[in-house]
Amino acid sequence: MNRSGYPDLQAHLATLESKGLLTRIERPIDKNTELHPLVRWQFQGGIAESERKAFLFTNVTDSDGRQYDMPVVVGALAASPEIYAIGMGVPVDEIGSAWLDAIANPIEPEITETPPCQQVVIEGAELTRPGGGLHGLPVPVSTPGYDAAPYLSATLVVTRDPETGVPNMGTYRAALKAPDRLGVRMATRIGGAGGYLHWQKYQQRGEPMPVAIVVGAPPAVAITGPQKLAVGQDEMGVAGALLGRPVRVASARTVDLMVPADAEIVIEGIIDTELLEPEAPFGESHGHVALEEFNMSMRVTSITHKKDAVFASIISQVTPSESSVLKKVAYEPLFLAHLRDELKVKGIRRVSMHEPLTNLRRVIFLQFDDDTPREEVWRGLHGAATLQAQCGKIVIAVSSDIDPSNTDAIFWSLAYRTNPVEDLEITTDRSVGHGPKTTPDAKDSGFLIDATRKTSMAPLALPSRQYMEAARQIWEELDLPRLSPKSPWHGYSMGDWSDTWERFAQNAARGLWIENGEQTFARRRSGIKPETPVRQVEDDD
């Protein structure tokens, strides 16, 4: 415990280590080429979910040979459901009920004047000097071989509604562009980011948007970012309810926002609401590389952190991943509660969101009692497909003897227990949701789809082969658990990959991401919506 009375990130790490759920890596590890690929092997190497651990890197370097005095941790939030549950402070089987109770009974935060997150302050000339500002943080390249820059991934991005004053905390990616500049992507799709709704209001007012990006919040606070709460609900209050006491907050130094006082790092700044900057490529959680889009440009005004701060990052990209575990352990009980308690669907036993490669949202399995009336099964199918716009493209109901986490059993049930003429319904006018923007279509349909690739697509969002192979050599040198990889275990091109993006990726792996930021800074545009694909604009020229 820290002095606030609840576990901060470092107290959480101590607990994980005491339980054998944290691996310390003390040899030099290059944050740009080795760090994420090394941790990625526990998701791609055939290791059981229960054997996954958090990795704490205490000797972090980069491609220039720079040594960082700040350690990096990956996997500490949700490498496995057990790790997630420890951070939340409840047993795994109580995660769902704890979330529902916290959402219904939030606890307002309390203000402190002496926040640990502001023990070290970096402002003014220190933000822009060579090697200073963001360049001084050990931010990893998540998908070496494809990413255009190091990215903040385990974030809580704090914004505030300029009309109501209600804050929002969302988990959004942020690319390093310069020592004092970030490229921030907030989802604009239906069911997307609360921060984007705030950005729109600031844009209408002709004002820039204050923002604070929190890295390494106490785990019960950090996990509220990926959760889909109602628009206008303050995540800080829900986090307090998860903790059973108010979250300590403090005023940011240079923007009018409140931030978690016990966070490891806080990056404050201003987001331009007029000029958007090209951002990405970046390996996204939907499992493909997100290609260049015009997104928000953030000028950093302050970086604060604890004296002994730990930098937190998460494994995202192709599922299974830490990102998908963060969602799965919370989404499944919430979907089940919606069907059972809100819609009163009879006979519903279990909701299982398919994780490997499909990233949970697209494929959902529902398990029913054997005697469930047919009309109740269909109510459940429609309820799961419509709860969230991004979820439920394919929903399949099975009987109690089918394990919905076993896809072989699902295919067996499909082969022998369905008559498509009677048992299949095509849903139309669905939102495309979270996925690669291979086509400009804004609508999708549901259930049966030919899954073969028919057009060029962005690369698979895994580190490219050379980095995964090099990381595997390190893995074996460290005598870590034996790997049994299944294809695909590295990224590869699927046709939609330009020479520019290849150069960006090579620069990022070599630590030359500032060159990429200089190039994209010169290509800024006004009068366009965030997430507009860059080539749609530049090709028109």
What pLDDT is recorded for position 514?
96
- Answer whether residue 280 is part of any domain: yes
Q: Are residues 258 and 337 in the same domain?
A: no
On average, the pLDDT of the chain sits at 91
What pLDDT is recorded for position 485?
86
Q: Are residues 99 and 64 in the same domain?
A: yes
Q: Cα(513)–Cα(175) distance, rounded to whole angstroms?
A: 9
What pLDDT is recorded for position 435?
64
Structural domain ending residue among the three candidates 318, 334, 368: 318
pTM of this structure: 0.85
Furthest-apart CA pair in the chain: how many Å? 70
- Both tokens assigned to 414: 């499909």
- Answer whether residue 495 is part of any domain: no
Mean pLDDT value across residues 514-531: 95
Which amino acid, one-letter code, is at 415?
A: A
Structural domain ending residue among the three candidates 409, 437, 465: 437
Q: Are residues 384 and 270 in the same domain?
A: no
Q: Are residues 228 and 341 in the same domain?
A: no
Contact at 8 Å (CB) between 56 and 138? Answer: no
Structural domain that includes position 223: 9-318
Q: Are residues 290 and 407 in the same domain?
A: no
Structural domain ending residue among the three candidates 318, 338, 358: 318
Instruction: Write a three-state SS string for 103-140.
Output: HHCCCCCEECCCCHHHCEEECHHHHCCCCCHHHHCCCC
Is cis: bond before 246, omega within 30 of 0? no
- Both tokens assigned to 402: 């089918």
- Answer whether residue 506 is part of any domain: no
Q: Are residues 241 and 370 in the same domain?
A: no
Q: How many distinct structural domains can be found in the chain? A: 2
What pLDDT is recorded for position 454?
31
What pLDDT is recorded for position 229?
78
H runs (alpha helix) in 64-214: 81-88, 95-104, 194-205
Outline where DSSP puts E strands in 247-309.
Answer: 248-251, 258-260, 265-279, 282-283, 289-290, 293-305
What pLDDT is recorded for position 453?
42
Indicate whether 539 pLDDT > 90: no
Q: Cα(346)–Cα(334) distance, rounded to whole angstroms?
A: 16
Indicate whether 158 pLDDT > 60: yes
Q: Are residues 236 and 345 in the same domain?
A: no
